[in-house]
Amino acid sequence: MNAIRPLLDIPQDELLAWLRSRDQPLLRARQIRRWIVAGRVESFEQMSDLPRALREALAAEFVPLGTRIERQQTAKDGTHKLLLRLEDDQLVECVLIRESDRRTACISTQVGCGMGCVFCASGLNGLMRNLTAEEIVEQLLRLRNLLPSHPTLSPREGEGRVPPYPLSPPGGEGLVRGERLTNIVVMGMGEPLANLDNLIAALDLAGAKDGLGIGARHVTVSTVGLPAKIRRLADLGRQYHLAVSLHAPNDALRTQIVPTNPKTGIADILDSADYYFERNGRRVTFEYVLLQDVNDSIEQARELAGLLRGRCAHVNLIPFNDVEGLPYRQPTQATVAAFVDILKQAGINVKIRKRKGSEIDAACGQLRRRVETQELAGVARPESSKGVHGAT
Ligand code: SAH
């Protein structure tokens, strides 16, 4: 018997042939996908306008969603983290961040990571595999399904007032008029540009009017800095916001922190970032994880300012998130403030990344590592799909 497959993984031609062989009208293909993407259903049974026999035939061969929620954690600030179990038993993390006017999904592109940045939990055990486009989309759907499916204000009550949260647009994602995802940051596990084709396929679906309706301008792709891939992404002409993980102002230091650096070098990374800006007109962000006594000195801030001066760049400073077993520490607030001042004085646009959901292992890769370590040690998996709720 064939394995049960997630429906969104089935190529359109194959789904149409499947429907044809059952004498079903081909518009059912769109109807079924729409139920999953826009209608939030997690079983074929819930697709109320499909004939019962068709629902049963679908359930015998496919599943609407292929992942299972292994763990769900909720932080006090409303951040949710999901650990999803994939069909081959691998684990992947994704996060939902709720702010006043935004609902942001932080998604992964790979199981593990092959880049090996020394301070990052995702790459500690190397790369297992790329995620499929369907697995990337499914993180978005799973996170979106956590959002309330009914607005708490009726349209009449809400008249003349801006709803306190974004609603799904009528017609587009509008099968359920609940809260919608507004933004995507590709900053979870893995190196997005090492799985570019699947990522683009997933983001195209997310951007489609009859998909999740999240346009490219609301998507941020964060990369370790692979110049050839950055140029390729630029040539694709999508309006994504690009973030490049710089983390050091010179090659000697960057090579110690980011093991891919000897192959790429800072100069070529900056050159490809300039190219991205030229092609897409979108200002590139440079991410810089601040590690105490490693890359946080006044001299290093000055060097970074020199490197970026004259570029239409933006610096995002990320105070290090503790990772169990790693020797790095977050700099003191005074050190961070001094670093910021130097960049500002040099006319560089700089922001410190807000910390979200820190008490729920929100730095990606940490929850997966913890659960895998427990499993290796023979600690039983929770039976419930929501094993640890509110692990604060
Ligand atoms: N592979 C991509 C996405 C990584 S996650 C990249 O390298 O950009 C997004 C950002 O979080 C990256 O800048 C990454 O270096 C940073 N990061 C990883 N681990 C971190 C930690 N423990 N604390 C703070 N930032 C971290």
The residues assigned a catalytic role are 93, 364
Mean pLDDT throughout 38-67?
94
Tell me, using a 6 A CB cutoff, whether residue 330 lines ligand 1.
no
Average pLDDT, the chain: 87
Predicted confidence band of residue 153 (pLDDT cuts 50, 70, 90): very low
- Which residue, judged by its Cα, is nearest atom 24 of ligand 1? 320
Tell me, using a 6 A CB cutoff, whether residue 317 lines ligand 1.
no
| pLDDT attached to residue 93 | 95
30 CA from centroid of ligand 1 (Å): 37
Position 14 pLDDT exceeds 90: yes
| pLDDT attached to residue 307 | 96
101 CA from centroid of ligand 1 (Å): 25
The phi, psi pair for 216, rounded to 5°, reads -55, -30
Tell me, using a 6 A CB cutoff, whether residue 261 lines ligand 1.
no
Q: Which of 152-166, 232-246, 300-314, 325-339 has the lowest mean pLDDT?
A: 152-166
pLDDT tens sequence across 193-211 = 999 999 999 999 999 887 8
334 CA from centroid of ligand 1 (Å): 22
Query: b/e map of 255-275 (b: 16 or more CB within 10 Å)?
Result: bebbbbbeebbbebbbebbbb
Position 43 pLDDT exceeds 50: yes
Mean pLDDT throughout 30-43?
90
pLDDT tens sequence across 286-299 = 999 999 999 999 99
| pLDDT attached to residue 312 | 80
Q: Which atom of ligand 1 is nearest to the CA of 113?
A: 1
CA nearest neighbour of 177 among 191, 165, 161, 194: 165
- Between strands 110-112 and 127-130, the pairing is antiparallel
Q: Which of 26-35, 218-227, 241-250 has the lowest mean pLDDT?
A: 26-35
Q: Which atom of ligand 1 is nearest to the CA of 191?
A: 1
| pLDDT attached to residue 310 | 86
Helices 227-236 and 196-207 cross at an angle (nearest 10°) of 30
